[in-house]
Amino acid sequence: MNDPVLTDFNVAAIQMVSSPSVEDNLKQAGELIAQAADLGTKFACLPEYFCFMGTSDRQKFLIKERLGDGPIQDFLANMAAKHGIWIAGGTLPLDCPDPERVFNTSLVYDPDGRLASRYDKIHLFNFKRGTESYDESIAIRPGESVQAIQTPLGRVGLSVCYDLRFPELYRAMGQVDLILVPAAFTYTTGKAHWELLLRARAVENQCYVLAAAQGGHHENGRRTWGHSMLIDPWGEIIDVLPEGPGVVRGTIEAERLTQVRASLPALRHRVL
């Protein structure tokens, strides 16, 4: 097993209500990142599709970027370096071998603005009830690799939205201190399962979970659940924002991780 984080550090989940305008979204994200940094944040996470919520799945192709080249990636790198913090850039559409689809990718930048990790969303959302229908596979190609990154702050596992429903993904990360869940949960599924799933992932993996969500009514007619939150290893909610743009924050406490894992050593009791 890996050692817990050596020191406490502050984290923030950025909640947004993104629109079809990349320029407006980046402006909003920049303001919220600055707010989080001013509050002492060392690791900030943006929501899924922070840069773009279009009116159709295919519109993602209009803003897709190649890895290492594009205004959205430049923005994330510049924000990390400007504020001297770690930033997980929610997700953005990246080029993939399939010309008919893109990767839905989460990129992590270190405090010098260097790309530190990449995770392509593995599980693709598919839901249909009445007039509400979603199928991410229309425009997105699934990733293939589980990703966890060792940082000076601790070991961080990467996931995106619908991944939350698949506990085996998190087990495959090994022991982590913090799980990131940038998301754009629908109002319907979020109201039913969002908090339940987040708290379960925190409890079963005995780590903190930082979930950055889209939260509100979007110009494309979609409504997202919001409720960005930080949850501790015992499943307690430290902070939450129900709806609208804002910052959810709290502290990753090394002693709390150690205490929970020592009092109930479930991770050491694993058989499978």
Q: What is the pLDDT of residue 6?
A: 63
Whether residue 4 has pLDDT greater than 80: no
Q: What percent of the chain has pLDDT over 70?
A: 97
Mean model confidence pLDDT for the chain = 95
Cα distance between residue 109 and residue 72, in whole Å:
12
- Taking residues 139-144, report their average pLDDT: 95
Catalytic residue among 45, 51, 96, 161: 161
Active site residue 121: yes
3-state secondary structure the chain: CCCCCCCCEEEEEEEECCCCCHHHHHHHHHHHHHHHHHCCCCEEECCCCCCCCCCCHHHHHHCCEECCECHHHHHHHHHHHHHCCEEECCCEEECCCCCCCEEEEEEEECCCCCEEEEEECCCCCEEEECCEEEEHHHCECCCCCCEEEEECCEEEEECCHHHHHCHHHHHCCCCCCEEEEEECCEHHHHHHHHHHHHHHHHHHHCCEEEEEEEEEECCCCCEEECCEEEECCCCCEEEEECCCCEEEEEEECHHHHHHHHHHCCHHHHCCC
Binned at pLDDT 50, 70 and 90, residue 1 comes out as very low
Pair of tokens at residue 139: 């425009």
Catalytic residue among 48, 65, 136, 253: 48
Active site residue 48: yes
Q: Which of 137, 141, 140 is nearest to 128 (CA)?
A: 137
Q: Which of 38, 5, 32 is nearest to 258 (CA)?
A: 5
Report CA Rg, the chain: 17
Q: What is the pLDDT of residue 145?
A: 96
Q: Tell me the per-residue pLDDT of 186-225, one tens digit each, with 9 for 90 and over.
A: 999 999 999 999 999 999 999 999 999 999 999 999 999 9
Q: What is the pLDDT of residue 126?
A: 84
Domains with residue ranges and CATH for the chain: 9-267 (3.60.110.10)
Whether residue 2 has pLDDT greater than 50: no
Binned at pLDDT 50, 70 and 90, residue 262 comes out as very high
Cα distance between residue 226 and residue 119, in whole Å:
22
Q: What is the pLDDT of residue 90?
A: 97
Query: Do the beta carbons of residue 94 and residue 52 sit within 8 Å?
Result: no
Catalytic residue among 42, 121, 136, 253: 121
Rounded to two decimals, what is the model's pTM?
Answer: 0.95
Give how far Cα 240 sits from Cα of 62, 249, 260, Å: 33, 8, 22
Q: Tell me the per-residue pLDDT of 34-70, one tens digit each, with 9 for 90 and over.
A: 999 999 999 999 999 999 999 888 899 999 999 999 9
Q: Tell me the per-residue pLDDT of 150-162, one tens digit each, with 9 for 90 and over.
A: 999 999 999 999 9
- Taking residues 85-90, report their average pLDDT: 98
Query: Do the beta carbons of residue 108 and residue 88 sit within 8 Å?
Result: yes
Whether residue 105 has pLDDT greater than 50: yes
